[in-house]
Amino acid sequence: MKAKSILLLFLVFCFSFSINAQDGRRGFDIEAIKKEKAEFLKKELDLTDAEAKAFLPLEAEFMQKKFEVNREARRETRELKRKENKTDTDYKRITQLNLESEQRSTQLQVEYYKKFSQVLSAEKVERYRIADQKFNEKLIRDHQQRGGGRR
């Protein structure tokens, strides 16, 4: 679970830097990624049209809420990275903020998995969990292949 949380935070962190290509580099096309993920999930979960119609909007809502939950932690983490003279208090604050963000994200996951189970079988909910992780790993690989993994 911790590895998945770290992976998710990394992805969200990447999205927050890359949604707008402010420095001239090519950024993420968030709408294209959403469409790609929807197609990926339809295939991986073998969703019927009715299941896709009920599940995909819920899943998109879940992802948006997770992004929002982690927004402040991402912003504060970026600010800390830029800060010249970091203090122990700075690190304690950012650690606490990130832990609270992970906790809210986990609560959101429990809430939405209950909603998912109302429109999908238990097997497909579990397959979603695995497919979501696969998709996130694919995004990271794609980002690294484009040279985005270098800092």
Taking residues 125-131, report their average pLDDT.
Answer: 97
150 occurs within a structural domain? no
- Determine the Cα angle at 112 with ends 111 and 116, to 5°: 130
Confidence of residue 149 (pLDDT cuts 50, 70, 90): low
pLDDT at residue 3, as a whole number: 47
Count of structural domains, the chain: 1
Tokens of 106: 């986990």
What number of residues does the chain have? 151
Q: How far apart are CA 3 and CA 98, in angstroms?
A: 14
79 alpha carbon, distance to own chain's centre: 20
Asked, for residue 107, whether it belongs to a domain, the answer is yes
For residue 69, give its domain range: 2-17+30-145
Could you tell me the pTM of the whole model? 0.74
Asked if the structure places residue 126 within a domain, the reply is yes
Burial per residue of 72-96, b for 16 or more beta-carbon CB atoms within 10 angstroms, e otherwise? ebbebbeeeeeeeeeeeeeeeebee
22 part of a folded domain: no
